[in-house]
């Protein structure tokens, strides 16, 4: 196989990437995420952990208090997070519907030392992020009121409770988990997934545009043509991933070991690209090949993440500077798998090429 011929095909395909609108839009989307990762980090983290943004809110929320007088009212009025309005329940709920209030609390006329529980009702706006933040801020106040009720009913305790000693709890790392557990792996592996999808389009378009006969009649063999397309898709992966990591660093997100991350992603992406190339050579029709690829990709990802030292886990550890010898062992293992797949792809491409030449 002539590597120069494959490089000619690769340059041709790289020059025509801008015509693949879906691929270009996907790359631009990743670029936007990498450029504004610090800004998006706040908004996206709030989607799966809304309580993480409550610590950054210094706004005083207006809430309505209705019902019996209690120590809860005193605690709410002494809080720096709320402006409390003592009002009847009906007008309070109307104000809540008009969003003049962030929440309404109703306290029944139950004595603190009563036999039954004190059932407090909290009214908020459904499916609202502000309601979640208010709920998180109200939690500390309600826990304090719960302590007041326990003190009022302490005379009922007939047995001495066992004192438990717990280690001090650390502050929740919602942003840390989002950045290194989701954002970094997503950005560095998306180019691999996109390139694997792109190789299917590059190969199947030769069949659909009926240009295969023209290609095999040139000095470039069919196998060289396939490897040129694979090379073009593979080049995109480390370039994109490297740019994403650089943009993350410019956003103040520390990346511990970028070199092994790029190497592992590049080799792992080659496996996906080779599998997609085999799928395209087998089915030769874009829709069928893309469906098979998408289904197989889900199965492969589920299998990979079930392994403790999978590439995603190793990339997370490397990004925080905690990657050991495991990542280099994974690189060697993945390289071996890629070499076997590359050999199988080469043999199959030669076979398909001979069949294409026989049909001329």
CATH code of the domain in which 108 resides:
3.40.1710.10
Is residue 78 located within the same domain as residue 214? no
**Per-residue pLDDT tens for 18-52?**
666 666 666 776 666 666 555 555 555 555 555 55
In a domain, 89, yes or no: yes
Backbone CA torsion sign across 14, 20, 21, 27: negative
Q: Rg (Cα) of the chain, in Å, rounded?
A: 30
C-alpha 314/C-alpha 188 separation (Å) is: 12
Helix ranges (DSSP H) in the chain:
3-15, 21-35, 37-48, 71-78, 89-97, 129-152, 174-178, 184-208, 212-216, 222-250, 258-283, 286-305, 311-319, 325-358
CB atoms within 10 A of CB 345: 20
Using DSSP, state whether 82 is helix, strand or coil.
strand
In a domain, 230, yes or no: yes
Starting from the edge strand earliest in sequence, which strands make up the sheet with 61-67, in order?
Answer: 82-86, 61-67, 103-107, 121-123
Is residue 259 located within the same domain as residue 293? yes
**DSSP-assigned states of every residue in 248-302:** HHHTT---S-HHHHHHHHHHHHHHHHHHHHHHHHHH--HHHHHHHHHHHHHHHHH
| CB-based contacts of 26-33 (< 8 A; 24+ apart in sequence) | 26/190, 26/194, 27/191, 27/194, 27/240, 30/187, 30/190, 30/191, 30/240, 30/244, 31/243, 31/244, 31/247, 33/183, 33/186, 33/187
User: What's the token pair of residue 151?
Assistant: 């003190």
| 220-233: average pLDDT | 85
Is residue 43 located within the same domain as residue 187? yes
Is residue 206 located within the same domain as residue 353? yes
| 80-108: average pLDDT | 90
User: Which residues, listed in sequence order, are joined to residue 61 by a DSSP beta bridge?
Assistant: 82
**Per-residue pLDDT tens for 58-68?**
678 899 999 98
CB neighbour list of residue 10: distance below 8 Å, 6 or more residues apart: 228, 229, 231, 232, 235
C-alpha 29/C-alpha 34 separation (Å) is: 9
Is residue 206 located within the same domain as residue 295? yes
Predicted local distance difference test score (pLDDT) of residue 90: 92
Q: Is the pLDDT of residue 231 over 60?
A: yes
Q: Give, to the nearest 10 degrees, the angle between helix 184-208 and helix 286-305.
A: 150
Pairwise pLDDT comparison (186 vs 165), residue with the higher score: 186
Is residue 8 located within the same domain as residue 113? no
Predicted local distance difference test score (pLDDT) of residue 216: 62
Task: Give the predicted TM-score (pTM) of the model.
Answer: 0.63
Q: Is the pLDDT of residue 53 over 80?
A: no
What percent of the chain has pLDDT above 90?
10
Backbone CA torsion sign across 258, 37, 180, 336: negative
Is residue 62 located within the same domain as residue 40? no
**Per-residue pLDDT tens for 185-226?**
888 888 888 888 888 888 888 777 776 666 666 777 888 888
Q: Is the pLDDT of residue 292 over 70?
A: yes
Is residue 71 located within the same domain as residue 204? no
Question: 69 lies in which domain range?
Answer: 57-152
Is residue 204 located within the same domain as residue 229? yes
Domain count, the chain: 2
Whether 149 contacts 111, CB under 8 Å: no
C-alpha 248/C-alpha 121 separation (Å) is: 44
Tell me which of 10-19, 77-86, 196-205 is least confident.
10-19
C-alpha 360/C-alpha 204 separation (Å) is: 18
């Amino acid at each position: 196989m002539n590597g120069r011929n494959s490089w000619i095909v690769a340059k041709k395909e790289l020059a025509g990437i801008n015509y693949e609108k879906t691929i270009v839009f996907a790359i631009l989307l990743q670029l936007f995420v990498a450029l504004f990762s610090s800004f998006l980090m706040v908004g996206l983290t709030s989607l799966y952990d809304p309580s993480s943004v409550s610590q950054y809110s210094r706004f005083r929320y207006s809430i309505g208090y209705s019902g019996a007088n209690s120590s809860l009212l005193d605690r709410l009025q002494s809080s720096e997070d709320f402006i409390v309005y003592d009002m009847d329940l009906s007008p309070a709920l109307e104000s809540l519907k008009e969003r003049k209030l962030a929440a309404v609390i109703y306290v029944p006329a139950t004595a603190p030392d009563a036999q039954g529980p004190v059932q407090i009702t909290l009214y908020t706006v459904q499916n609202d992020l502000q309601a979640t933040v208010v709920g998180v801020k109200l939690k500390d106040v309600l826990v304090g009121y719960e302590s007041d009720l326990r003190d009022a009913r302490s005379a009922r305790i007939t047995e001495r409770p066992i004192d438990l000693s717990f280690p001090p709890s650390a502050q929740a790392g919602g942003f840390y988990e989002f950045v290194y557990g989701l954002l970094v792996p997503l950005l560095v592996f998306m180019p691999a997934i996109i390139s694997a999808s792109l190789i299917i389009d590059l190969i199947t378009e030769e069949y659909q545009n009926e240009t295969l006969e023209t290609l095999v009649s040139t000095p470039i063999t069919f196998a060289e043509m396939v490897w040129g397309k694979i090379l073009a898709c593979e080049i995109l992966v480390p370039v994109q991933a490297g740019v994403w990591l650089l943009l993350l660093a410019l956003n103040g997100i520390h990346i511990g070991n970028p070199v092994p991350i790029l190497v592992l992603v590049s080799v792992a992406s080659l496996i996906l690209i080779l599998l997609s190339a085999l799928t395209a050579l087998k089915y030769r029709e874009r829709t069928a090949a893309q469906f098979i690829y998408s289904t197989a990709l889900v199965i492969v990802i589920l299998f990979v993440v079930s392994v403790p030292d999978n590439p995603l886990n190793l990339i997370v550890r490397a990004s925080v500077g905690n990657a050991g010898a495991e990542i280099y062992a994974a690189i060697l293992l993945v390289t071996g798998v890629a070499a076997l797949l590359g050999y199988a792809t080469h043999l199959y491409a030669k076979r398909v090429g001979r069949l294409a030449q026989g049909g001329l």
